Amino acid sequence: MLNTIIKNNVANSQKLENCLDFTQSQNNFHTLLNKQDTLKLQPINLSRNQECSVHNNSVLPEHHIIQNNNIIQDSSLNNLIQKNYYSEKVINENPEIIENGNNKDDKDLKNKEKEEVEEEVKEVSEFYLKKNTVIPLFKPIYNESAVFSVDSSKIEIIKQPTDYYNKIKEQILQAKHRVVLTALYIGIDQVDLVQTLHKALSENKSLRVTILFDCLRGTRTSHSGESSVTLVAPLVTAYPDRVEVALYHTPELTKPLKMLLPQRFNEIIGLFHAKIVIGDDNLILAGANLSTEYFVNRQDRYVFFGGATSLSDYFYDLALTLTKISYQLAPHHTLIPSGPDPTTNPLQFRQTAFHALDTFLTNWYARTQPLRNNNKVKRSKLSKNTDTIVIPMLQMKQLHIEENERLMEIIMRIIDENSDYWKNIFITSGYLNFTTEFKNLLNEAHANVDILCAAPQANSFYKNPGISGYIPAVYTYFERQVHDETSNKDLKVHEYIRPGWTYHAKGLWASYKNEKTGELLPNVTILGSTNFGRRSMKRDVEAQVLLITDNKKLQKEIAKEIDNLLNYTVIVNNETFDKQERQIPLPVKVVTKLFQSMF
């Protein structure tokens, strides 16, 4: 849609696209400090063709686009591109163009689209549920996103952190062509993991390894000066042509702000948070970082997709796309920007990043087109042999990518429209801080809702020295808001509490009731890195998928996953929050209200 508007109204469309910035005012970042930081970040000299100009070199003001030769105001880039964007770019089928761009028309358009979704869901639901298949009910989602058919017999639900670690090492040692590891960070104690990578590289000359983690967390040093960078740097030195280490840096933390905020505190601004493991055509999606506590006594979720070639290719391509906009680790611990520096030129960085990700998403929508149902027959399936599909949902609001935020409401509406079928919605988050919009969806849900979060004792910051020791109180405050303010009488809040363990799992499950056995079986789940909170939606880079399955065996395995999490839980009530140790200090309440999106 955006490309159509630009083509019709602006002659120099390429220059215009390169100048669009919808989140931050045009600041003169080129005159900011050029001082090298402790990691020797090398500045980028912008060439003349990188400068932004439209017609007479005037800069397009923030939050504006050009339509019908007039400059109009719009709330975000995604208002134009999120609805039907990729399908329009691929099949060019009746693109809708907003004529005057006023707020009333935008709202009318959104309301019309919602009504169309609800009407379609209602029409097809009864037919498909009688056929014991739910995949076609999610057509409003997979018609607008990349979609993958996966072999349900090769999906493994990993339940224990030790098994997750062993699976990672197994995939590294068995890989012949490619290994990808992405996480917030790699723990400085993970010498064994680095040695496993070294062993695989030394034994297989055709193996290539890509490692991607967050720049702020990955360069945070211990008292002895160690960090994720110092841990993996020897791999780059030993195998410079086959190992790529990249560190993503948020454009929100510019150099002046970075000089003011010390290490650790600067991480509140935004982080790379996606957790992906690839070994050739096998994929693991998880919520766990690559550190010892996550492999021993920190409960999370981990799902292995064996032989998932296309899905693995998607996440491999995603990792490569993100590395191209991240710092590259060179020998001697030097970090080199791959393009515009996010700390000194965040405007150009955002433009470059959005263009790369937009191209990635558009290409993958086209590549998965053969699987998608393009005809108008509403009662056709993706394929006769398809019993499990996976739909990626990325969330990178700082880069204008908001798939998770865009699709969550549709997913919840589909489930709620069929509440006679789906009896339970189960949600878990290690850091419970739901957005207002998500809380409203849960309050309106007709199915029973169970929420599982970490008890204060299961929060990794519990009894930490200094300011971080108050973080469990922050999440208790959020938890109590959900518990006290809900209007859904069928909503329950559970806490994970297990001696010696912390809790970090995240996910959503929708379960139906088996008529023969009476057991609840989940056939819809969301898994990945998102915590369903304000921070996930607004600040961090997240990667997750929607998995829908008609396979009964897989449904039972997913049900066991829920049971495994519930083994160490208690249901909270008013008495829970009335205990002395649950009282929230006033300063914590004030800080929490002021900086909600940072938790």
**Structure-token pair, residue 511:** 């379960």
Q: Looking at the predicted structure, is the pLDDT value of residue 327 above 90?
A: yes
Q: What percent of the chain has pLDDT over 90?
A: 55
DSSP class of residue 483 equals H
Q: Looking at the predicted structure, is the pLDDT value of residue 133 above 50?
A: yes
In the chain, the number of structural domains is 3
- pLDDT tens profile 478-529: 889 889 888 888 899 999 999 999 999 999 999 999 988 999 999 999 999 9
Distance CA 435, CA 188 (A): 33
The Cα-based distances of 53 to 61, 69, 400, 432 in angstroms read: 11, 16, 21, 44
**Residue 28, number of CB atoms within 10 A of its CB:** 7
Stronger pLDDT, 596 or 396, i.e. the higher one? 396
- pLDDT tens profile 96-116: 333 344 566 666 776 776 666
Q: Which of 323, 352, 376 is the last residue of a domain?
A: 323
Q: Where are the beta strands (DSSP E) in 43-200?
A: 64-67, 70-73, 148-149, 155-158, 178-183
Q: Looking at the predicted structure, is the pLDDT value of residue 298 above 60?
A: yes
Q: Which of 68, 94, 120 is the last residue of a domain?
A: 94
Judgement on whether residues 211 and 309 belong to the same structural domain of the protein: yes
Q: Which residue has the tokens 């490569």?
A: 320
In a domain, 102, yes or no: no
pLDDT of residue 468: 82
Burial (CB count within 10 angstroms: exposed 0-12, middle 13-18, buried 19+), residue 195: exposed
41-70 average pLDDT score: 31
In a domain, 367, yes or no: no
pLDDT of residue 393: 95
pLDDT of residue 25: 31
Prediction pTM value: 0.80
Strand 422-429 with 448-454, pairing: parallel
Answer left, alpha or beta for residue 420, where phi above 0 means left and psi between -120 and 50 means alpha: alpha
- Cβ distance 286 to 164 under 8 Å? yes
Annotated catalytic residue: which of 89, 275, 506, 538? 275
pLDDT of residue 551: 95
Annotated catalytic residue: which of 74, 106, 280, 313? 280
Stronger pLDDT, 84 or 341, i.e. the higher one? 341
- pLDDT tens profile 529-564: 998 988 888 899 999 999 999 999 999 999 999 999
- pLDDT tens profile 200-256: 999 999 999 999 999 999 999 998 889 999 999 999 999 999 999 999 999 999 988
Judgement on whether residues 289 and 161 belong to the same structural domain of the protein: yes
Q: Looking at the predicted structure, is the pLDDT value of residue 32 above 50?
A: no
149-170 average pLDDT score: 97
In a domain, 543, yes or no: yes
Q: Looking at the predicted structure, is the pLDDT value of residue 14 above 70?
A: no
Judgement on whether residues 406 and 533 belong to the same structural domain of the protein: yes
Q: Looking at the predicted structure, is the pLDDT value of residue 31 above 60?
A: no
pLDDT of residue 233: 95
Residues in contact with 506: Cβ distance below 8 Å, sequence separation at least 6, in sequence order? 287, 300, 301, 428, 429, 430, 527, 528, 529, 530, 531, 532
11-31 average pLDDT score: 32
In a domain, 547, yes or no: yes
Judgement on whether residues 309 and 421 belong to the same structural domain of the protein: no
**Structure-token pair, residue 104:** 């009333």
Q: What percent of the chain has pLDDT over 70?
A: 77
Q: What is the dihedral of CA 551, 554, 555, 556, to 10 degrees?
A: 130
Q: Looking at the predicted structure, is the pLDDT value of residue 3 above 50?
A: no
pLDDT of residue 213: 96
273-277 average pLDDT score: 97
Distance CA 341, CA 197 (A): 30
In a domain, 329, yes or no: no
140-145 average pLDDT score: 83
Task: Encode 548-557: b = buried (16+ Cβ within 10 Å), e = exposed.
Answer: bbbbeebbeb
Judgement on whether residues 593 and 497 belong to the same structural domain of the protein: yes
Q: Which of 323, 350, 371 is the last residue of a domain?
A: 323
255 is catalytic: no
**Residue 64 pLDDT grade (very low, low, confident, very high; cuts 50, 70, 90):** very low
pLDDT of residue 488: 86
Annotated catalytic residue: which of 249, 273, 397, 494? 273
pLDDT of residue 143: 77
In three-state secondary structure terms, 303 is strand
Judgement on whether residues 192 and 260 belong to the same structural domain of the protein: yes
Judgement on whether residues 310 and 163 belong to the same structural domain of the protein: yes
190-207 average pLDDT score: 97
pLDDT of residue 125: 66
**Residue 154 pLDDT grade (very low, low, confident, very high; cuts 50, 70, 90):** very high
273 is catalytic: yes
Tell me the chain's radius of gyration from C-alpha atoms: 24
- pLDDT tens profile 419-432: 999 999 999 999 99
CATH number of the domain where residue 278 is located: 3.30.870.10
Judgement on whether residues 200 and 292 belong to the same structural domain of the protein: yes
**Residue 371 pLDDT grade (very low, low, confident, very high; cuts 50, 70, 90):** confident
pLDDT of residue 564: 95
Distance CA 227, CA 223 (A): 10
Residues in contact with 70: Cβ distance below 8 Å, sequence separation at least 6, in sequence order? none
In a domain, 108, yes or no: no
Judgement on whether residues 175 and 254 belong to the same structural domain of the protein: yes
Distance CA 501, CA 454 (A): 10
Judgement on whether residues 167 and 257 belong to the same structural domain of the protein: yes
In a domain, 343, yes or no: no
pLDDT of residue 122: 61
**Residue 171 pLDDT grade (very low, low, confident, very high; cuts 50, 70, 90):** very high
Lowest mean pLDDT among 1-10, 156-165, 330-339: 1-10
User: Range of 64's domain?
Assistant: 2-94
pLDDT of residue 549: 96
Q: Which residues pair with 45 in a beta bridge?
A: none
In a domain, 266, yes or no: yes
Q: Which of 18-22, 451-455, 472-476, 576-580 has the highest mean pLDDT?
A: 451-455
Q: Could you give phi then psi for residue 397, rounded to 5 degrees? A: -60, -35
Q: Looking at the predicted structure, is the pLDDT value of residue 10 above 60?
A: no
Strand 401-402 with 388-396, pairing: antiparallel
**Residue 375 pLDDT grade (very low, low, confident, very high; cuts 50, 70, 90):** very low
- Cβ distance 302 to 284 under 8 Å? yes
Judgement on whether residues 473 and 581 belong to the same structural domain of the protein: yes
Judgement on whether residues 221 and 77 belong to the same structural domain of the protein: no
